[in-house]
């Protein structure tokens, strides 16, 4: 089945849910799908302040608008009811999903699968399967209906990894720059993206390939140059640099403590002011800590390091949404051969499902029925963090087990399968 065959049903599903149900209105305000940095209502408010008032007001002056100026200029007119019909914005979000799914399918096809299957139960999913998983993933569909800007971040991340696998280092850096311009944290993927692109360049050229240092300089320069152009355009649109604090400073300083599925908001609600600066540094640096160890340990497969970093960022960023996890699940699907090596898969599937049932229930108890408090909702986010963090750890464990099996001969694998030998990971 070609991946193109699933694009039309996916688009029709989104059109039907967007135009024939009230789901978009209710999902647009869900804490699990929309944050102060990605919410549709914030973008509509910013567009209204900047264009519909006389005289127009600076949307960044109030401290409640956090979308980049380019998003406000390009996407803002699509989402405001006075500027465009609703179907036009849904079409833009749907198109972003379709392109991202095609890029993920190409990643599944192009990545280096390594040695032959080491277990007879291994199955390597096709590009169509991976694309379908992303397009029909409930998190992806819900994020599109909520019209969260997370959709576009996922799009550019998928395009960056796809371009890197194609050996297009500069193009990969440009796509990653667009993703980082939207939400900052994708800058952490610059190192694995450069490594992926360098390996692809070496593999295709075979001789006279540039060194890793040259690739690092080229990729970093391309990223910095593109980012400078984007920031310059933003400065030209707004007339000042004041947007930097509202768009990117808020990610690091976490002034808006609107509840979300992350670990940050409740922590800083309870934090004493004289400890706040210290823990802001800890929370800001925490995702960055994993870049070097993962890239070094998985230097032979930097795409897997990038996949794990996408999951780490989704878990540890200050304003996460379920849409961040949709991309991570699709990237994990590119490593479907690891599934037979996962221990207790039922447990790892049920814990996130349990958390997903708790999140809306405890949110209603806290904010609607007043039968609970903030501790209820935060407890649900902790269960979610444990479940999804467990997925990342299990992916690494399964990868280690498969690599160990790959180094055994047929007789050794047979002994492991017969449980005469046991693989011990330390």
Distance of alpha carbon 269 from its chain centroid, rounded? 25
Helices marked H in 185-272:
190-205, 212-238, 243-244, 250-253, 265-270
- Decide if 189 contacts 287 (C-beta within 8 A): no
Q: Which of 4, 261, 275 is nearest to 150 (CA)?
A: 261
Cα distances (Å, whole numbers) of residue 148 to 72, 75, 144, 151, 298: 13, 11, 7, 6, 32
Closest to 222 (Cα-Cα) out of 177, 187, 263 = 177
Evaluated on CA atoms 138, 301, 283, 270, the torsion sign reads: positive
- Is 351 within 8 Å of 387 (Cβ atoms)? yes
Cβ-proximal residues to 56 (8 Å cutoff; 6+ apart), any chain:
49, 50
Position 118 scores a pLDDT of 65
CA-closest candidate to residue 66, choices 199, 209, 192, 246: 246
Two tokens, residue 338: 């690891």
- The pTM (predicted TM-score) of the whole model is 0.93
20 burial type by CB count under 10 A (0-12 exposed, 13-18 middle, 19+ buried): exposed
CA distance linking residue 345 with residue 263, whole number of Å = 25
Give pLDDT < 50 ranges for the chain: 1
Tokens of 379: 């407890």
Apex CA 309: angle with CA 248 and CA 340, to 5°? Answer: 150
Predicted pLDDT of residue 61: 87
φ/ψ of 209, rounded to 5, equals -75, 145
Q: Tell me what pLDDT residue 403 has.
A: 78
Q: What are phi and psi of 367, to 5 degrees?
A: -95, -20
What is residue 110's predicted lDDT score, i.e. its pLDDT? 86
What is the tens place of the pLDDT at every residue in 143-156?
Answer: 999 999 999 999 99
For residue 357, what are the contacts with CB-CB under 8 A and spacing of at least 6? none
**Residue linked to tokens 């001969």:** 409
Spatial distance between the Cα atoms of 147 and 33, rounded to a whole number of angstroms: 9
User: Is residue 336 within 8 Å of 109, Cβ to Cβ?
Assistant: no
pLDDT of residue 67: 95
Residue whose token pair is 């640099």? 241
Q: How many CB atoms lie within 10 A of CB 198?
A: 24
User: Using CA atoms, how far apart are residues 182 and 340, in angstroms rounded to an integer?
Assistant: 37
Task: Give the helix/strand (H/E) hosting 410.
Answer: helix 410-417
């Amino acid at each position: 089945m070609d991946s193109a065959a699933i694009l039309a049903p996916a688009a029709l599903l989104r059109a039907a849910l967007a135009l024939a149900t009230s789901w978009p209105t209710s999902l647009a305000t869900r804490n699990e799908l929309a944050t102060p940095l990605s919410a549709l209502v914030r973008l509509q408010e910013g567009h209204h302040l900047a264009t519909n008032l006389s005289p127009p007001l600076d949307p960044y002056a109030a401290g409640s608008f956090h979308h980049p100026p380019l998003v406000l200029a390009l996407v803002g007119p699509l989402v405001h009811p006075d500027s465009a019909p609703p179907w036009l914005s849904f079409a833009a979000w749907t198109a972003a999903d379709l392109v991202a799914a095609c890029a993920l399918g190409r990643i599944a096809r192009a990545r280096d699968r390594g040695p032959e299957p080491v277990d007879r139960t291994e199955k390597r999913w096709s590009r169509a399967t991976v694309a379908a998983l992303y397009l029909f993933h409930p998190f992806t569909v819900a994020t599109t209906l909520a019209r969260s800007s997370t959709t576009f971040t996922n799009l550019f991340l998928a395009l960056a990894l796809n371009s890197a696998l194609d050996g297009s280092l500069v193009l990969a850096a440009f796509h990653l720059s667009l993703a980082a311009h939207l939400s900052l944290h994708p800058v952490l993927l610059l190192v694995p993206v450069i490594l992926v692109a360098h390996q692809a360049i070496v593999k295709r050229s075979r001789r006279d390939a540039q060194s890793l240092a040259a690739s690092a300089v080229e990729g970093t320069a391309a990223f910095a140059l593109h980012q400078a152009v984007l920031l310059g355009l933003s400065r030209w649109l707004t007339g000042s640099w004041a947007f930097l604090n509202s768009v990117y400073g808020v990610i690091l300083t976490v002034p808006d403590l609107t509840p979300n599925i992350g670990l940050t908001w409740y922590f800083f609600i309870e934090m004493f002011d004289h400890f706040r600066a210290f823990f802001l540094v800890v929370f800001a640096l925490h995702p960055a800590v994993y870049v070097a160890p993962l890239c070094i340990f998985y230097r032979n497969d930097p795409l897997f390091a990038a996949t794990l970093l996408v999951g780490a960022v989704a878990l540890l960023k200050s304003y996460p949404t379920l849409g961040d996890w949709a991309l991570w699940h699709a990237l994990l699907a590119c490593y479907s051969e690891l599934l037979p090596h996962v221990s207790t898969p039922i447990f790892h599937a049920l814990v996130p499902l349990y958390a997903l049932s708790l999140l809306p229930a405890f949110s209603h108890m806290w904010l609607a029925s007043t039968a609970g408090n903030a501790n209820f909702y935060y407890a649900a986010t902790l269960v979610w963090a444990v479940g999804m963090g467990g997925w990342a750890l299990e992916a690494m464990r399964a990868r280690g087990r498969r690599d160990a099996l790959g180094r055994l001969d047929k007789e050794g694998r047979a002994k492991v399968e017969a449980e005469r030998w046991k693989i011990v990971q330390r």
